[in-house]
Structure 1
Amino acid sequence: MLRLSLCLCFLFLWVRALPAQTPVPLPEHPRPDWQRANWLNLNGAWEFRFDKEDAGLKQGWGKGTQKFPLSINVPFPWGAPLSGVKDEADIAWYQRTVTVPKDWKGQRVFVVIGASDYRTTVWFGGKELGTFEGGYVPFEFELPASALKAGAGQKLVIRVDDTRRDYALYGKQGYGNARGIWQTIYLEARANEYLETLHFTPDIDKGTVKVTATLPKPASQDLALTLNIAGVSAPATQTIGKGQSQLSFDVAVPDAKLWTLDNPHLYEVQAGLIPKSLLHLGEGTKASLQMGGLRGADGVNTYFGMRKISVVNLPGTNYPYVALNNQPIYLQLALDQSYHPEGFYTFPTDEFMKNEIKLAKDIGLNGIRTHIKIDVPRKLYWADKMGLLVMSDLPNFWGQPNAEARAESERVLPQLIKRDFNHPAIFSWILFNETWGLRTKVEENGKKVDRYLPETQQWVVSMYRKAKALDPSRLIEDNSICCGAGHTETDINSWHEYLPGYGWDEYLKNLTSKTAEGSTFNFEKGYTVGKQPNINSEFGNVWGYDGSSGDVDWTWDYHRAVNAFRQYPLVAGWLYTEHHDVINEWNGYFKFDRTPKYTGLEAFVPGMSLKDLHADIYVTTGQNISKSVRPTEVVQVPLTISSMTGRTDVGNELTLKVELNGWDAFGQEKKWQSFTQKIAYTPWMQQTMAPVYVIMPAEKSVAVLALTLQDSKGNVLSRNFNTYIVEKPQSSEMVTGGGQKNRLLTVDPKQFTDAKWSLKQWNVLEGLKVNGAGSGYFEYKIKWPADLKADNVSGASFIMEASAKQLYGKDKSGDVKIPDNYMLGGGTFDNSLNANSYPMTDDSKFSSDVAISFNGVSAGKLNLPDDPADHRGVLSWHYQPQNRKLREAGSYGYRLEVNVPADAILKAQQTGELVLRLAVEGNGGLAIYGEKFGMYPFDPTVIVKVK
């Protein structure tokens, strides 16, 4: 047996050297979880032709005798920029010449297509091989041995019909359709009898893994199956008897290395299948196997992870949580539309897919939900390899739940589970989303209405049970619910909710008060809550505001929501919408091209980032992260410690460092107070702590209560903060260092006396901020006090908060209408068109140069780098009306300061006024912020030094 194992292992070390080829896109094997040695990547340039009149079948295009006029870059879907062709029709044809390697002679050869949307027919050498329907799962056809001419070029022709079908599992393709071939296509050589699947079901409690091998048809003879599992003693050879097509057995995995998020160990597997009659050949088998590659034997490389998915209570509570390896895990996930702006469903490189997982882990998330798309296997591989959990959706149909649509879901579900069974990262299957496709039009009171009927609910239950039978090792979700629909039978009690940040405390208080075993809350009639984890499976502010929030600083509301979630541990996790922007939802952690957005968190607590909002040990003050207060007011700050971890390395006592910092009425940084507080720590603690009391500054200011939680060794565990707006009328006088007396001449931004702008001028929230777009100017006439004569004035300076001002789509003239079919991608393609939007700070800058003059005397020119919007626009968020609408929320400017020229002061003393002009020559525009908008609590102010 040992000699046979050595022979089979040899197969996986030997890879056929292919002739040098022109580089092709995505050259890597598409299935690291299911890879044979002999394969040939067919990605790259194919001849291509649209078939607008559907004439190709009648005219015999499948014979490969006609030249197609276009070239497409496979595997990018047609219409995607990376494909090289535009979307001009529902039906298209591909063809290319392929050469089956000579050393594959005597083996069975298959053409494998990772995914093609939707009805795909294949011809080889002029012979039709077959048709497959489905847009997301792999399929294959065998090249007939009678037609194979090893070493000679032969035509492979493919027709794809992507006509919309109501019953088809279409998903959410409107961000860029997956039209035609969109995953790697390749040739593969196999033995006469080969493995169709090899599934591994780990049992970490018993220290075993169940192996289930299947063949595509009953064996024609006794077959020997051997496994080489790296790091595991070789199991005995198993026999698949003649007439059998499946075999299951257990393999001991002593001292197993568990697959965890921090150490995602994968057990590499080499599997060999050989006619049992060859076993007696011993070492001589090697020569037999080498001839022609895998003659007489099949070999597959795959892998699995030793991990367990279950449900346990959060320690010290009766709250059910999803558990990884018997330990509860607080789910912090992102909705992942899994799109690329140029490849649509298809990513341009393997490195890009790896980076998708890295981006999520870098900000502290522990999982993603691939939304309404069966994702690319190599991306799932990187989730396995790097340790990131995945919720996997079955795509939806958009018609009604008729027999045809149900049959399609029932057909594709097993194919999904079959393909992705060995990915340890996947912890749940989601069957339906927001009841899409599950509502039937019925007539009520003379009107047609959509209803989630009891018979449809029963069918959903049957789908849940079907999935559970196919894969009892994972959690199954019947319907990720929203919009009035409820659960039936499910392993996860999920729910969607999109709210402004200020709405979370009330919502969660109501939800948790109604969620208990036996309750009917969030369940359909006849079904009740059991012991399922209660999780949010979509949230964000994108749909929390009327008509959605467009592109806006999402982090302010996100901060409020996460703070609130951590106060309600019955909710076992959340899922933010979303990982990256798409064409009509611009609320991603990252932009559509995956470049970063800037949160501004570090301006409040040095070193703070999104990762602090995802810390396992977390201190929260609740959803309200800004509050108006009086000078010297003693503020009681509520504190909750949420420890979603069993960590014991942090010690028994934590230190909470409390600092009161911020900006005074002139935008200058201030430090007012600092102290520490000790907190007794135990793993998994969820505890309301004694509040801290803080004395607010005596001056007008934006005060930041910075909270830094440290372990017993001084290591930072997490950072958080609250802000306090100290409201106080601005005095007309001020004394600064050294006893310098100053007179303050302030002007309300909206009180300009003249303004001319080439594109547009408008005010925000009745003048809390004023905007001018294009080139132009604002002019202010500031009254000069009569008592400020030359003999008692030693100079003056001017401070203001300002930014560049781009004219966004929502602010352009005309009646702008946004398509309402968002779920099918009826997007704006303009991230600023939504009435609530104000694009968040990112790498794309829009700058402006502002010339400043007083009484016609130049005071210089200042550059405004951008018109940003993020957490730093604290006042713009704080003073927003709570009416489900946003007005440039999060926007802020830069603190500018210039000296007022002496000649201008002299003229002001003579005329009694100081005429301030702020002019822009280019198209950068100008925004001016007042004391209740932006980052700093002051109006534009002239500071006059009095002798």
Structure 2
Amino acid sequence: MSQNVTSAIPKPEHPRPQLVRDKWMNLNGTWGFEIDAGDSGLERGLTTRELNSGIRVPFAPESVLSGIGHVDFMEAVWYRRTVTIPADWAGQNVLLHFGAVDHDATVWVNGVEVARHRGGFTPFTADLGGVVEPGADAVIVVRARDSRHGMQARGKQATWYNNTHCQYTRTTGIWQTVWMEAVPEVYIKHLRMTPNLADSSITVEVPISQNRTGHTVSAILSDGSGGRVEASIKADLDLTPTLHLNIPAELLRPWSIEDPFLYDLEVNVLDDAGDVVDHVDSYAAIRSIALDGKVVRINGEAVFQRLVLDQGYWPDSLMTSPDEAALIKDIELSMAAGFNGARLHQKVFEERFLYHADRLGYLLWGEFGDWGVSGAGTVGHNQQPTPSFVAQWLEVLRRDYNHPAIIGWCPLNETHQVLHDRLTVLDDVTQAMFLATKLADPTRPVIDASGYSHRIRETDIYDAHSYQQDPERFRIEQEGLAENKPYINRKEDGQEYSVPYAGQPYFVSEFGGIWWNESEAKQAADGTDLSTSWGYGQRVGSEEEFYGRFDGLCSVLLENPDMFGYCYTQLTDVFQEKNGIFAFDRSTKFDLARIRASQTRQAAVETRGK
């Protein structure tokens, strides 16, 4: 059966736009639910009985849209739903997919454990072969453990009860789409598409479930106007059949922010009789990324990256977008303000957000939600690093490798730890995540850790975070880059966080954060300010003062010929953090024409990089 999209199903769109089959079923909607405060549910039989309340999946129980709205800590939560597998899936295997479950998940179907997964940001799949057949009922039970204690990648989720500064309401349990699909015995597991603009080709690796004798894998790339490129290869000679799609000049159309062109892609597995046994629809793009001294080139051109920090939170749904329109709106708002991309900050965004960035020409830096690992323990946000970060990050890279909008990776953020003469777990984890990223994806630049502790000398990109609010002081702070002595984050006592700068492309990957809320500013002016809001530096006294400060800070970086980009903090207010270009509900705070004018002047590096 094809997906029947109705308003009754939250977020009904296919969650994986680059690997789509016809036979799939969205399982979002009402599930049984129970909070397990003592994580004793397994002993109390929660795998075998109905649960005591209901929840609206895929919204986390802390959120308003879930129907729960419980914001206190939950050691564990349970979900339960009975689903009838479509009878017309007969002869197929059934895969049960979870977009993301925070944090440690166990899944049972009809009383059989079918999956375990660690990590709150990445997808996982359970093969239900031998457990349930098409036409039968599947009783799905999920336990998600999300302890406030111990080593865990949380991103911006507060480890104390209240939201404070830039720590936000937690997300527990299922927070991305749950779905099923039918696949044949020999099926495509995923696709890995590598563009090579230099020789006008796209390589498509096609891992399949079995390399059966006589089977072939084929791919058809089309431009939507009749132009086609085809390739096929035997499926029984290599563990991962690899196709090379050579694009003739008349069909070559590189992806760029001005022309974000996407080719349609069909991939098939055919049996020895030539019949299609598996078919997926996808899309692909061709573009290049290269480093030239301090310049980052896209398709050979220096493109100043006018990025905005995007936390990806919404008032009523937290880390989950309320609907598809919300994902699109955030990109469109950012572009309307003059940004050409985003640093996706401290969470792994829903894949449909990446799809819309692909089609709209919106640059992205992918990031893991580690903040702020320091080796200092679990107090506040100072989480201990753990080797499981590496496994989770590799799952991110596998899921998101194919998206042309992603132009760089940032495994870690603000790893606050000074350099000293003994190696730490943080050093091991940083090295492992950097090397894993380079091995998994040699096509994109990698920052070892954004801001503060650069610990890898060969990091592709060097950056710093600076919330200096005075434009002239900011200019003085940043002018050393011309002599290869850039601003580097250090502790107040002068201890070093980072290995020395070695001439890499450099940008200020967090700046601004200008604190402004009109109603609170009026209260402050008359001495009745009772707000608990937060932002960086001294709050501006008027909207006009904001424009002057914003323009001045942007000018410092745009006019620096050695700066390849910047990332302004941030796209929207988030809870008490009132330093967004837009309010938390996405309403307008400023004159976007003035914000845009401050950013869209030609950057010095774009002139130098011609």
The answer to whether TM tops 0.5 is yes
After the TM superposition, which residues 814-893 of structure 1 pair with which residues of structure 2 at under 5 Å, given as runs?
none
Aligned twin of 1:492: 461
C-alpha deviation, 1:262, in angstroms: 1.3
Name the structure 1 match of 2:169. 176
Contact 2:457 2:502 survives alignment (8 Å): no
Q: Is the aligned partner of 1:251 residue 2:221?
A: no
Q: 1:452 to 1:568 in 2, by over 3 A?
A: farther
Q: CA deviation at 1:644?
A: 5.4
Alignment-derived partner of residue 58 in structure 2: 75
Q: Are the equivalent residues in 2 in contact too, given 1:98–1:155 (CA < 8 A)?
A: yes
- SS of match in other structure, 2:478: helix
Query: Which runs of structure 2 are paired with 1:366-377 in the superposition (5 Å)?
Result: 366-377=340-351
Q: 2:395 aligns with which of 402, 410, 415?
A: 415
Residue of structure 2 in register with 1:126 after alignment? 111
**Is contact 2:3-2:24 (8 Å) kept?**
no
1:48 is the counterpart of 2:48: no
The CA deviation string for residues 634-667 of structure 1, in whole angstroms up to 9 with x for no partner, is xxxxxxxx5554xxxxxxxxxxxxxxxxxxxxxx
The aligned runs of 1:370-449 (5 Å cut-off) are: 370-396=344-370, 401=375, 405-436=385-416, 439=417
Task: Please give the per-residue CA displacement for 1:687-739, whole angstroms capped at 9, x wherever unaligned.
Answer: xxxxxxxxxxxxxxxxxxxxxxxxxxxxxxxxxxxxxxxxxxxxxxxxxxxxx
Query: Contact between 1:389 and 1:426, CA under 8 Å: does it hold in 2?
Result: yes
Partner of 2:232: 237
Q: CA deviation at 1:565?
A: 2.1
Note the residue ranges of structure 2 that are not aligned, 5 or more in a row.
159-167, 378-382, 517-533
The aligned length equals: 562
Secondary structure of 1:82 counterpart: coil
Aligned to 1:340, the other structure's residue is in SS state: coil
166 and 530 in structure 1: CA distance in 2 versus 1, 3 angstrom threshold: same
Check the 8 A contact 1:43/1:184 in 2, yes or no: yes
Pick aligned residue for 1:530 from 486, 489, 502: 502
After superposing the two structures, state which structure 1 stretch, 365-374 or 535-544, moved more.
Answer: 535-544
Q: What per-residue deviation string (whole Å, max 9, x for no partner) do you get for residues 344-376 of structure 1?
A: 000111011011111111112111001111111
Contact residue 63 and residue 318 of structure 2 kept, 8 A? yes
What is the aligned partner in structure 2 of residue 722 from structure 1? none
Q: Distance in 1 between matches of 2:535 and 2:12?
A: 45
Corresponding residue number in structure 2 for 1:652 = none
Q: In 2 relative to 1, CA 467–21 (structure 1 residues): closer, same or farther, beyond 3 Å?
A: closer
Match in the other structure for 1:309: 289
- Tell me the amino acid that sits aligned with residue 490 of structure 1: T
1:572 aligned onto 2:564 = yes
CA 1:201–1:69: 2 relative to 1, 3 Å = same
Moved more, 423-432 or 303-312: 303-312
Which amino acid in 1 is paired with 2:547? T
Q: Which one-letter code corresponds to 1:530 in the other structure?
A: A
User: Which amino acid in 2 is paired with 1:494?
Assistant: D
Identity of counterpart residues, as a percentage? 28
CA distance in 1, matches of 2:536, 2:489: 27
Preserved CA contact (<8 Å) 2:371 2:415 = no
**Counterparts of 1:644 and 1:513, CA distance in 2:** 16
Rounded to whole Å, the distance in 2 between the matches of 1:521 and 1:82 is 40
Q: Cα gap change, 1:61/1:459 in structure 2, threshold over 3 Å: closer, same or farther?
A: closer
Equivalent-residue separation in structure 1 for 2:497 and 2:536 (angstroms): 31
State the 1:123 CA deviation: 1.5
Cα distance in structure 2, aligned partners of 1:547 and 1:355 = 26
Partner Cα separation in structure 2 for residue 266 and residue 21 of structure 1: 28
Cα deviation for residue 451 of structure 1 reads 6.4
Contact 2:571 2:580 in 1 (8 A): yes
State the one-letter code of the partner of 1:170.
R
Name 2:307's counterpart in structure 1.
Answer: 333
Distance 1:478-1:590 versus aligned 2 partners, 3 A rule: same
Q: Secondary structure at the match of 2:312?
A: coil
C-alpha spacing 1:496/1:25, structure 2 compared with 1 (3 Å): same
Partner of 2:148: 164
Instruction: Supply the distance in 2 between the matched residues of 1:504 and 1:94 (Cα, whole angstroms).
Output: 51
Instruction: Give the letter aligned to residue 167 of structure 1.
Output: M
* Aligned-partner residue type, residue 203 of structure 1: N
Tell me if structure 2 keeps the 8 A contact 1:119–1:160.
yes
State the shift of 1:489 in Å.
Answer: 2.5
- CA 1:170–1:560: 2 relative to 1, 3 Å: same
CA distance in 2, matches of 1:358, 1:550: 27
Deviation at 1:386, TM superposition (A): 0.3
Q: Following TM superposition, by how much is the alpha carbon of 1:581 offset from its aligned partner in structure 2, in angstroms?
A: 0.7
Do 2:559 and 2:604's aligned partners in 1 also have CA atoms closer than 8 Å? Answer: no
2:322 corresponding residue in structure 1: 348
Whether the aligned pair in 1 keeps the contact of 2:307 and 2:343 (CA below 8 Å) is yes
In 2, Cα distance between equivalents of 1:541 and 1:278: 62
Q: Deviations over 1:297-330 (max 9, x none)?
A: 22211212111111135xxxxxx21111010111
Partner of 1:609, secondary structure, is helix
Write out aligned runs for 1:892-907 (5 A).
Answer: none
Deviations 1:852-906 (A, max 9, x none): xxxxxxxxxxxxxxxxxxxxxxxxxxxxxxxxxxxxxxxxxxxxxxxxxxxxxxx
Cα pair distance change 1:574/1:60, threshold 3 Å: same
Compared CA separation, residues 18 and 559, structure 1 to 2 (3 A): closer
Q: For each residue in 1:249-274, what CA deviation from the matched residue of structure 2 results, as whole angstroms up to 9, or x when unmatched?
A: 42201221110101100111111113
Query: Does the residue aligned with 1:173 lie in a helix, a strand or coil?
Result: coil
Deviation at 1:19, TM superposition (A): 6.5
Q: Shift of residue 551 of structure 1?
A: 8.2
Is it true that 1:114 corresponds to 2:109 in the alignment? no
8 Å Cα contact 1:457-1:488 kept in structure 2: no
State the alpha-carbon separation in 1 of the partners of residues 539 and 344 from structure 2.
22
Alpha-carbon shift at residue 21 of structure 1 (Å):
6.0
Aligned to 1:164, the other structure's residue is in SS state coil
**Residue 70 and residue 417 in structure 1: after superposition, are their counterparts in 2 closer, same or farther (change >3 A)?**
same
1:36 to 21, 33, 38: 21
- Tell me which of 262, 269, 291 is aligned to 1:266: 262
Q: CA RMSD in A?
A: 3.0
SS at structure 2 position matched to 1:257 = coil
Matched to 1:572, the amino acid is F
Distance between the aligned counterparts of 1:520 and 1:610, measured in 2?
A: 28
Q: 1:365 to 1:495 in 2, by over 3 A?
A: same
Q: Which amino acid aligns with 1:409?
A: F
Distance 1:113 1:36, change over 3 A: same
Which deviates more from structure 2 when the two are superposed, residues 69-78 or residues 389-398?
A: 389-398
Asked if the contact 1:169/1:408 (under 8 Å) is kept, the reply is no
CA distance in 1, matches of 2:290, 2:5: 49
Amino acid in structure 2 at the alignment position of 1:493: Y
Counterpart code for 2:464: W
> The residue matched to 1:574 in structure 2 has which SS?
strand
Distance in 1 separating the partners of 2:68 and 2:200: 52
